[in-house]
Amino acid sequence: MELDYLDGLNEPQREAVLHTEGPLMIIAGAGSGKTRVLTYRIAHLINHGIDPFSILALTFTNKAANEMRNRIEKVVGTEARGIWMGTFHSIFARILRIEAVRIGYTRDFSIYDTDDSKSLIRSILKELSLDDKVYRVGTVLHRISSAKNSLISVNEYQRNEIFRAEDEANRIPDMGRIYKIYQDRLLKSNAMDFDDLLFNTNILFRDHLDVLNKYQQKFRYVMVDEFQDTNVSQYLITRKLAAVHQNICVVGDDDQSIYAFRGANIQNILNFEKDYPELRIIKLEQNYRSTKNIVSAANSVISRNKTQLRKDVWTENEEGPLIELIKASSDNEEGNLIANSIFEEKMQQSLRNSDFAILYRTNAQSRAFEEALRRKNIKYRIVGGLSFYQRKEIKDLVAYMRFTTNQNDEEALKRIINVPKRGIGEGTVAKIVVSAGESNVGLWEVVSKAASFLGARIAKPIDDFATLIKSFRVISDQKDAYETAAHIAKASGLLKELHEDKTVEGLARYENVQELLNAIKEFVDNSEHEDKSLSAFLQSVSLLTSAEDDKDTDRDKVTMMTIHMAKGLEFKYVYIVGLEEDLFPSQMMLTSRADLEEERRLFYVAITRAERKLTLSYAESRYHYGRLKTCEASRFLKEIDPQFLRVNHSAGREAYATSFVKNLTPRKPQQINSTVHTPSADFTPSDTANLTQGMRVEHPKFGFGVVKEVDHANNERKAKIHFEKVGEKTLLLSFAKLKIHE
């Protein structure tokens, strides 16, 4: 058996599988077979007598974990089920369930998703009488999330002068106070948000060395996939767990580090050798996925980055067609040209819809492509839209289940107390909240003793609700997740209300709830799940990602998604669209070299999703916030070596003809504006509230200029500026990043 899996590996892959002791970093270029290496490395450990229960493998998606586990089972059998394998969040949630009492929680704690966290923040802002137009909920949550991912506690945040100054400058001086109340409410609700699963695991290991030692001794071998995407918190936990045995293996590619906005720290992989001087580094550089043209084009782009671990990615695959570059006159024409190209390739190459993917920088770009594909009767699916578990009817039933297992979960309580309607309106809920605050008790205390707190007149419907929840709790203690959930769906009145709605939408919502019950039955029937309780099911659901809970059974569709969502995927034919300055690279990523290099890595990731053929496109104009905007081609197009490109220019209506993308002579790409400005070393956008005529300013792309006019019409301040290199531009000051030079 051993020879079977080792014989299929190239020399560096084989070396990585056989090197089992001591710290190891595997630099895995795009399409280099890293999943195979990780899989066989774990199988090799088990084949050589290592207890599967002593192996910890951390991934970034449940899909990756399941795929690896299934592959390992094929090599070593069912022993693979003993491996602790899963996402950082799922593994640490599992540890926290076991050790929760050590940090002031019970094992039935709830896990808040983004909607729950935002709802809680809205409540806090309302209680503090803070303006939600200044304290934007998304901004507040991002600020708290960033702090937690950097392991900054409430007390540290409030004591830190830099944070206080930043909050003052951003006109959110109460940020520290909000953070404290938010954390207090989570603890009071016996709930954690996603960031707490990492933050609290660090706290657990920091404050309880006996617990840390227990897991250090348990996990003799620690492996981390997609290491370039780890944040400070994730790396610190991993390093602590591996501290005793030092058998840590990290796999990743710094050139595919694209999640800084989520807290990922590329320095983890760049500086890994400093933490482990004995480190062995193995580079996987052979690409098995893409054609020579695609691999070479990707290399020519990413070589522009200065901050990287150098590697030479190559392939023995065929040369393949040149990369197509389509120039469209507008975003609508871009949509039509791409739809036509897909239609033609399908017909001429006998392909399926699922062979194609359209990748864009932002979700908002999907409209033109959706409309064009519909006109061609080409089926498509959008990944990253409203996911199954984010639909209202699903969140309602899940909230009932959450509150059944955890009566301290106040966000779940507020969601379900009047769903379906039972005569407990917003006014009554407000009285419950006020009464709980005045008496310094939880909301459930008031709800379960409504007459004592609120008076007999309004207590009846609240008492009925409390009795219902108590009955659910009794059943959940006796029955498995499916039986409990089915009873809750029926007895709560949710199923009845949905069944009585005979509209198309009502029927779809009813079927969605039935689909959820099917999923719970599948969970219970799965022999791998020892714990079949409602609490165990809720933990598995709370850690799903939107790309993994897609219930669409028809898979023969063109896939449309943002490039961030496409990470780790591959398609035969890939279209990267909207390659224009300020869109890709994004205008928000042009103020520093680090940001621009991350955008370039994002483009590299997009290119390397393609197996057989890659098509790039951009539009000369598109609507932006209701205004028609003239666009210029992305600087990234100029960075592709011209020998790998074939350029097409649309020419009015005849460009839509089916022969458009055929038989064109290879030519160099058009010369893109070579006057791109390099921002000053100290470039930081200024407050433009007092911008006036005659001021000298600097723009990160257009360079230096003088303000000619400031217009306040229609509540949107605009400035007409004459730039030294590119001439006159009119900019919206709410979006433009300008540095004022006195």
The residues assigned a catalytic role are 34-35, 225-226, 256, 609
Of 604, 601, 582, which Cα lies nearest the Cα of 676? 582
The answer to whether the CB of 571 falls within 8 A of the CB of 610 is yes
d(CA 24, CA 116): 39
The answer to whether the CB of 610 falls within 8 A of the CB of 574 is yes
d(CA 50, CA 213): 20
Query: Exposed e or buried b for every residue in 536-560, given b needs 16+ CB within 10 A?
Result: bbbbbbbbbbebeeeeeeeeebbbb
d(CA 337, CA 372): 9
Of 432, 544, 408, 319, which Cα lies nearest the Cα of 109? 408
Q: How far from 246 is each of 56, 133, 268, 733, CA to CA, in Å?
A: 13, 49, 17, 53
Q: How many H helices and E strands in the chain?
A: 31, 22
d(CA 224, CA 458): 55
d(CA 476, CA 526): 19
Of 321, 323, 324, which Cα lies nearest the Cα of 649? 324
Q: How far from 466 is each of 40, 72, 316, 432, 440, CA to CA, in Å?
A: 53, 48, 67, 13, 20
d(CA 534, CA 476): 7
The answer to whether the CB of 644 falls within 8 A of the CB of 301 is no
> How many C-beta atoms surround the C-beta of residue 407 within 10 A?
23
Span between the terminal Cα atoms of the chain, in Å: 73
